[in-house]
Amino acid sequence: MRFPRNARIFRGQLDASPFVGVLFLVAIFLLLNSSLVFIPGVKIRLPEASDLPGVTNPTVTVAVDRNGQLYFENQGITKDKLKLRLRDAVRRIREPVTLVLLADKAMSHDTTIELFELAREAGLKEALLATRPASAPMKADAAR
């Protein structure tokens, strides 16, 4: 028994609008998922710790790289200017402010203590050292 064939081979010109629409959507998805602006920064390797409490007060963040260079609000700063800016932040916020120190783990303890003293002189009541979460132990380490 022979069945009739209703399908015919298309011999006309292809319509480009569906292809352009799909291409446009793919371009939008790629632009939304990519970073269009390069954001420069300073590499800081934070020490690892686990199960530490967070901060509930408003915070002021100071970063210190391994060479001891200070960064406040994404700009390099000296200790004298940092002290003035911290005093200004304490006056402006009018609540207990916590200093969060992003210090490279290769930095000396002397610099950390100096910064904590500087923060206390500026009127900050609490200062914390930022850490990154400790990585999970490897399977080989867990077996030991």
pLDDT in tens, 13-43: 888 898 999 999 999 988 888 766 666 777 8
pLDDT in tens, 42-100: 788 888 888 777 788 888 989 998 888 999 988 899 999 999 999 998 899 888 888 89
Is 60 exceeded by the pLDDT of residue 133? yes
Q: What is the 3-state secondary structure (H, E, C) of the chain?
A: CCCCCCCCCCCCCCCCHHHHHHHHHHHHHHHHHCCCCCCCCCCCCCCEECCCCCCCCCEEEEEECCCCCEEECCEEECHHHHHHHHHHHHHHHCCCCEEEEEECCCCCHHHHHHHHHHHHHHCCCEEEECCEECCCCCHHHHHC
* Residue that wins the pLDDT comparison between 143 and 107: 107
pLDDT at residue 37 in the model? 66
Domains and CATH numbers, the chain: 48-133 (3.30.420.270)
Rounded to two decimals, what is the model's pTM? Answer: 0.62
